Amino acid sequence: MNASEHTANQAEEVKKDEEVKQPEMQLSVTSNRLEASIRVKPAFQGQEITFEQIMAFLKENGIVYGVLGSVIRDFCENKKYFIEPVCARGLAPVDEKDGTLEYLFKKEQNVMPVEREDGTVDYRNLGIVQNVKKGDVLCRITPPLPGKNGIDVYGKPVNYRKGKTPTFPQGKNTEVSEDGLTLTAALDGCIEYRHATLNISETFIVRGDVDSSSGNINFLGTVIVQGDVLEGFSVKAGGDINVRGMVEGALLEAGGNIAISCGMNGMSRGKLIAKGSVSAQYIENTTVECAGDVRADVLFNSMVKAGNSILARGRKGLLAGGRYQAGRSITANTIGSGGARTELMILSGVLDGLLTGKKGESLDSVKAELAEEQKNLQTLHSQAETIALFLKKDPRSLKGRKLLKSASSQMKLAESRIQYLNTKISAMGQADQSGLAVLDFKISALRVANMGTKITIGNFTENLATDYSATKFYSDHEHIVTATIQPADRT
C-alpha cells in the first residue's frame, strides 16, 4: 500500500468516527417550569442536527407540553446553532385578583363647611353625625375573581395563586351576613369609626360645645353634649338630649326627654321641643313644648306648653313673666311678679300638634298603640331578666353584657314612649263640654301668687286682684275657686 492510499484510508476512518459522534445538547428550564430552552453544540464542524434528534431529546427529558415545533424546525433547517431557542412554553395560570372592600359610609369626617348655591357658606350643618338604621349595609366585600390552573412544559398542572379576601372592620352592634359579604347595623344608631374598627352607637356624644366646630347635630338616638349649645345651633335627637352645660338661643328637639344641667336663655328665639319631659336649672326667654312635664328652679319670661305639668320647684321655685299652659297642673313656690305679665292656663289637649298626632287619629288607636308598647316593655323586661341570670353564671360574657345594655336602652325608650302615649290619651280623652273633666286640675302657689297674674282653668279666667299666700286654684265647673295648700300638695 503506497502512502497516498494509506492517507485516504485514514481520512475515511476519521469521517466514519465523526459520523458516529452525537451533538451535545443541554436543556434549560425556568424555575416556574413554564419555559424550556435548548443549547446545541455540534460534535464536529459541519455536523447537521435534525428536527427528529431534538424532538427525541426533549421527549427523553420529559418535555411534552407546549413544544414549539416550528421554532425547532427553523433552528435545524437554517443551522442556527449559535442561539439558544425557546423550544417549549407552558400555559401560565390565571391568578385570582384580590377581593375588595367597599365602605358605604364616610371613613373620615370632613368638617369643611358646604357652599350654598348663592355662594355663601353654611357653617352650621357640617353633617358630623352619620345616622344608620338597623339592617343598613355598612360595608360590602367583592370576593376574588376565580383563577385558572396552568400547565408546565412537563405536562403537569401549575396551581394559580389564591386571591386575598379582605376582612370587615367589625365592631360593636354590627353583623356579618351569612354569606360573609356584607356588614350591617344591628340597631339604629350612629357610626363610630376609629382605629380601623366600626361601631354603631345608640348614643352620640359631643365632646365639647355644639358650635361652629361641630355644626348642628341630628341623630336617631340619644345625644349627650358635654359642653354648651351656642346661639343659632340645633340639636335634634330621636331619643333623649342631655346637655351638661348651658343652652343659648338654640333649638333642641327630642323624641324623648330633654335635660339641661345648667339652664337655658333662649334670647327670645330658642326652643325646646320634646315628646317626653323637659328639665333645666332655669329657663328664660324660651319657647317650650313637651308632652310630659316641664321642671325648673326658675321659669321666666317664656312661652311654655306642657302636656302634663309645669313645676317650678327648688331654692327659688319662681314662675314669672310669659305664658304657661299645662294639661293637668302648674306648681311653683312663687307665681307672677309686679313687673312682668304672667299668664297661666290649664287646658286639656293643650298640645294638639304634639299630642293628638295624625289628623283624624282616634283615641282607641292610641290606646291600642299604648297596649302594644306596654307588651313590648314586658317582653324586654323578661329578656333582661333572662340575660341577667345568664350573666350570674358567666359574668365575663361580653356578649351577655352587650345584650343586657341593648335591652336596657330599649326599655328606657319604651318607658319614654309609654309616658308620651299616656299623656296623649289624657289630652285626647279628658275634655268634656265645659272644657275639663272633673279631675285634679289645679294651679298651686306654694308660697305666693302675686297680684296681676292671669289664671285660666278650662273655660274660666280670673285676673288676681290681690296676692294669694299658699293657695291652690281649681275649677268646680262654675268658676275658679281657691283652697289652702295642704302638705300633700307640696310633695
Q: Residue 164 maps to which CATH number?
A: 2.40.50.100
The pLDDT of residue 431 is 43
Q: What is the pLDDT of residue 432?
A: 39
Could you give the C-alpha distances from 445 to 159, 293, 457, 459, in angstroms and in order?
89, 17, 15, 21
Write down which residue in 143, 172, 201 finishes a domain.
Answer: 201
Quick check: is 414 in a domain?
Answer: yes
- Tell me the pLDDT band of 260, cut-offs 50, 70 and 90: very high
Per-residue b or e along 356-377, where b marks 16 or more CB atoms closer than 10 Å to that residue's CB = bbeeeeeeeebbebbeebbebb
Asked if 186 and 105 sit in the same domain, the reply is yes
Which position has the higher pLDDT, 426 or 148? 148
Rounded to 5 degrees, what are φ and ψ at 50?
-95, 160
Q: Are residues 193 and 266 in the same domain?
A: no
What pLDDT, on the 0 to 100 scale, is given for residue 491? Answer: 67
Cell 275658679, located at residue: 480
Q: Compute the distance between CA of residue 181 and CA of residue 316 in angstroms, rounded to an integer.
A: 61
36-70 tens-digit pLDDT? 999 999 988 888 899 999 999 999 999 999 999 99
**Has residue 360 got a pLDDT over 60?**
no
Q: What is the mean pLDDT of residues 12-17?
A: 53
**Predicted pLDDT of residue 448:** 95
Whether residue 421 sits in one domain with residue 382: yes
**Angle between helical axes of 363-393 and 398-429 (0-180°, round to 10):** 160
pLDDT of 221 over the 50 cut: yes
Residue 471 is assigned to a structural domain of this protein: no
CB 389: neighbour CB atoms within 10 A? 10
Q: What are phi and psi of 261, to 5 degrees?
A: -60, -45
Tell me how many domains the chain contains: 4
- Claim to verify: residue 85 and residue 153 sit in the same structural domain: no
196 and 209 belong to one structural domain: no
Q: Which residue stretches of 241-356 are H helix?
A: 352-355
Which residue's entry shows cell 370576593?
Answer: 143
Continuous H helices in 261-394: 352-355, 363-393
Q: Is 215 left (phi over 0), alpha (psi -120 to 50) or beta?
A: left
What would the pLDDT profile of 204-214 be if each residue is shown by its tens digit? 999 999 998 88
Within-domain flag for 367: yes
Q: Does the pLDDT at position 277 exceed 80?
A: yes
Contact predicate 240/222, CB 8 Å? yes
Cell of 431: 275634655
Domain that holds residue 217: 202-292
Per-residue confidence at 436, pLDDT binned at 50, 70, 90?
very low
pLDDT higher for 176 or 435? 176
Based on the domain organization, do 195 and 104 belong to the same domain?
A: yes
- Mean pLDDT (whole number) for 329-347: 90
- Say if strands 241-243 and 222-225 run parallel, antiparallel, or are unpaired: parallel
CB 375 within 8 A of CB 337: no
In a domain, 413, yes or no: yes
pLDDT over threshold 50, residue 104: yes
CATH for 416: 1.10.287
Segment 211-221 mean pLDDT: 88
In a shared domain, residues 178 and 106: yes
Looking at mean pLDDT, say which of 109-118, 127-136, 202-211, 430-439 comes out highest: 202-211
Q: Are residues 140 and 179 in the same domain?
A: yes
Region 424-433 average pLDDT: 55
Query: C-alpha distances in angstroms, 428 versus 181, 254, 373, 410?
Result: 49, 22, 18, 27
CA quadruple 302, 345, 416, 366: dihedral sign: negative
pLDDT computed for residue 202 by the predictor: 86
Do the domain assignments include residue 306? no
Q: Does 298 or 12 have the greater pLDDT score?
A: 298
**pLDDT at residue 109 in the model:** 62
Q: Does 112 have pLDDT greater than 70?
A: no
Is residue 272 assigned to a domain? yes
Other Cβ atoms less than 10 A from the Cβ of 338: the count is 9
Q: Are residues 211 and 268 in the same domain?
A: yes
Please tell me whether residues 208 and 153 are part of one structural domain: no
Q: How confident is the model at residue 7 (pLDDT cuts 50, 70, 90)?
A: low
- 407 or 229, greater pLDDT: 229
**Partner residues linked to 324 by β-bridges:** 304, 344
* 381 and 421 belong to one structural domain: yes
How does pLDDT run across 16-43, given as a tens digit for each residue? Answer: 555 568 889 999 999 999 999 999 999 8
Q: What is the pLDDT of residue 62?
A: 94
Out of 235, 258, 292, a domain closes at 292
Asked if residue 439 has pLDDT above 80, the reply is no
| Residue 106's pLDDT band (cuts 50, 70, 90) | confident
Asked if the structure places residue 333 within a domain, the reply is: no
- Confidence band for 427, pLDDT divided at 50, 70 and 90: low
Closest CA to 351 of 258, 276, 279: 276
Q: In this structure, is residue 323 part of a structural domain?
A: no
pLDDT in tens, 174-198: 999 999 999 999 888 888 888 888 9
Task: Kindly state whether residues 104 and 189 are assigned to the same domain.
Answer: yes
- The residue out of 429, 447, 474 marking a domain boundary is 429
Q: Inform me whether the pLDDT recorded for 154 exceeds 90.
A: yes
User: What's the confidence (pLDDT) of residue 67?
Assistant: 95
Confidence grade of residue 399 (pLDDT, cut at 50, 70, 90): confident
